Structure 1
Amino acid sequence: MADINADKHVFARLARVWNVSDFAKRFSLDRFEENRLLKLLGPRATERQLLINAGRRPL
Protein backbone atom coordinates (compact mmCIF):
# COMPACT_ATOMS: atom_id res chain seq x y z
CA MET A 1 0.00 0.00 0.00
CA ALA A 2 2.84 2.40 0.77
CA ASP A 3 4.29 1.87 -2.72
CA ILE A 4 1.03 2.96 -4.35
CA ASN A 5 1.00 6.20 -2.34
CA ALA A 6 4.64 6.87 -3.22
CA ASP A 7 3.87 6.38 -6.91
CA LYS A 8 0.97 8.83 -6.70
CA HIS A 9 3.24 11.41 -5.09
CA VAL A 10 5.86 11.04 -7.82
CA PHE A 11 3.22 11.24 -10.55
CA ALA A 12 1.64 14.33 -8.98
CA ARG A 13 5.05 16.01 -8.85
CA LEU A 14 5.81 15.24 -12.51
CA ALA A 15 2.33 16.36 -13.54
CA ARG A 16 2.93 19.84 -12.09
CA VAL A 17 2.60 22.53 -14.76
CA TRP A 18 5.44 25.03 -15.17
CA ASN A 19 5.82 28.26 -17.04
CA VAL A 20 8.64 27.44 -19.49
CA SER A 21 10.53 30.67 -18.73
CA ASP A 22 10.40 30.00 -14.98
CA PHE A 23 11.61 26.43 -15.54
CA ALA A 24 14.51 27.71 -17.66
CA LYS A 25 15.56 30.13 -14.91
CA ARG A 26 15.19 27.52 -12.17
CA PHE A 27 17.31 24.95 -14.02
CA SER A 28 19.87 27.45 -15.41
CA LEU A 29 19.04 26.87 -19.07
CA ASP A 30 20.45 29.32 -21.59
CA ARG A 31 18.28 31.58 -23.75
CA PHE A 32 18.67 29.33 -26.81
CA GLU A 33 17.33 26.31 -24.92
CA GLU A 34 14.48 28.33 -23.41
CA ASN A 35 13.41 29.49 -26.87
CA ARG A 36 13.64 25.93 -28.22
CA LEU A 37 11.36 24.68 -25.42
CA LEU A 38 8.92 27.51 -26.02
CA LYS A 39 8.66 26.60 -29.71
CA LEU A 40 8.35 22.91 -28.94
CA LEU A 41 5.95 22.98 -25.97
CA GLY A 42 4.42 26.46 -25.85
CA PRO A 43 4.41 28.78 -22.81
CA ARG A 44 3.33 26.08 -20.29
CA ALA A 45 4.23 22.41 -19.97
CA THR A 46 4.30 19.67 -17.37
CA GLU A 47 7.47 19.09 -15.43
CA ARG A 48 7.83 15.70 -17.08
CA GLN A 49 7.67 17.18 -20.61
CA LEU A 50 10.23 19.81 -19.70
CA LEU A 51 12.65 17.36 -18.07
CA ILE A 52 12.45 14.99 -21.02
CA ASN A 53 12.98 17.70 -23.64
CA ALA A 54 15.41 20.05 -21.90
CA GLY A 55 19.06 19.83 -22.77
CA ARG A 56 21.80 21.66 -20.93
CA ARG A 57 25.00 22.87 -22.50
CA PRO A 58 28.23 21.78 -20.76
CA LEU A 59 29.74 24.47 -18.56
Structure 2
Amino acid sequence: MQQVELEGADSIMATRVWSVPEFCARHRLDNNEEARLIVLFGPFATAAELMHNMTRAPKFR
Protein backbone atom coordinates (compact mmCIF):
# COMPACT_ATOMS: atom_id res chain seq x y z
CA MET A 1 0.00 0.00 0.00
CA GLN A 2 1.27 3.45 -0.89
CA GLN A 3 0.23 6.80 0.50
CA VAL A 4 -0.15 9.67 -1.97
CA GLU A 5 -0.26 13.31 -1.00
CA LEU A 6 -3.49 14.83 -2.33
CA GLU A 7 -2.00 18.18 -3.27
CA GLY A 8 0.69 16.58 -5.43
CA ALA A 9 -1.39 13.91 -7.15
CA ASP A 10 -3.92 16.18 -8.84
CA SER A 11 -1.43 18.76 -10.00
CA ILE A 12 0.87 16.18 -11.62
CA MET A 13 -1.93 14.52 -13.60
CA ALA A 14 -3.61 17.77 -14.62
CA THR A 15 -0.45 19.50 -15.79
CA ARG A 16 1.22 16.70 -17.76
CA VAL A 17 1.48 17.91 -21.34
CA TRP A 18 0.81 15.45 -24.17
CA SER A 19 1.38 15.55 -27.89
CA VAL A 20 -2.16 15.42 -29.29
CA PRO A 21 -1.35 12.75 -31.94
CA GLU A 22 0.38 10.58 -29.30
CA PHE A 23 -2.58 10.93 -26.94
CA CYS A 24 -5.01 9.97 -29.72
CA ALA A 25 -2.95 6.93 -30.66
CA ARG A 26 -2.73 5.79 -27.05
CA HIS A 27 -6.49 6.17 -26.53
CA ARG A 28 -7.39 4.76 -29.98
CA LEU A 29 -9.20 7.87 -31.19
CA ASP A 30 -9.96 8.16 -34.89
CA ASN A 31 -8.46 10.71 -37.30
CA ASN A 32 -11.50 13.00 -37.17
CA GLU A 33 -11.29 13.24 -33.39
CA GLU A 34 -7.55 13.87 -33.57
CA ALA A 35 -8.10 16.70 -36.07
CA ARG A 36 -10.82 18.20 -33.84
CA LEU A 37 -8.53 18.17 -30.78
CA ILE A 38 -5.67 19.73 -32.78
CA VAL A 39 -7.99 22.54 -33.90
CA LEU A 40 -9.06 23.10 -30.27
CA PHE A 41 -5.64 22.98 -28.61
CA GLY A 42 -2.89 22.93 -31.22
CA PRO A 43 -0.21 20.23 -31.21
CA PHE A 44 0.08 19.99 -27.39
CA ALA A 45 -2.39 20.03 -24.49
CA THR A 46 -2.62 18.90 -20.89
CA ALA A 47 -4.00 15.47 -20.07
CA ALA A 48 -6.97 16.99 -18.28
CA GLU A 49 -7.92 19.15 -21.28
CA LEU A 50 -7.72 16.22 -23.65
CA MET A 51 -9.64 13.81 -21.42
CA HIS A 52 -12.46 16.29 -20.84
CA ASN A 53 -12.81 17.19 -24.52
CA MET A 54 -12.44 13.86 -26.30
CA THR A 55 -15.50 12.11 -27.64
CA ARG A 56 -15.68 8.44 -28.40
CA ALA A 57 -18.30 6.23 -30.01
CA PRO A 58 -19.84 3.66 -27.65
CA LYS A 59 -18.36 0.16 -27.98
CA PHE A 60 -21.51 -1.82 -27.20
CA ARG A 61 -22.21 -2.56 -30.91
Q: Give the TM-score range, shorter chain.
A: 0.7 to 0.9
CA shift digits 1:6-50 (9 cap, x unpaired)? 331222122100000000000010000000000011000000000
Aligned to 2:55: 55
TM-score, normalisation: structure 1: 0.84
Q: Kindly report structure 1 stretches of 4+ aligned residues shifted beyond 4 Å.
A: none
- Secondary structure of the 1:57 match is coil
Q: Name the CA distance, whole Å, in 2 between partners of 1:10 and 1:35.
A: 28
Name the aligned partner's letter for residue 11 of structure 2: F
- Secondary structure of the 2:45 match is strand
Q: Percent same amino acid among aligned pairs? A: 37
Number of residue pairs matched by the alignment? 57
Please, which runs of 5 or more residues in structure 2 have no aligned partner? none
Report which of the two has the higher share of helix. Answer: 1
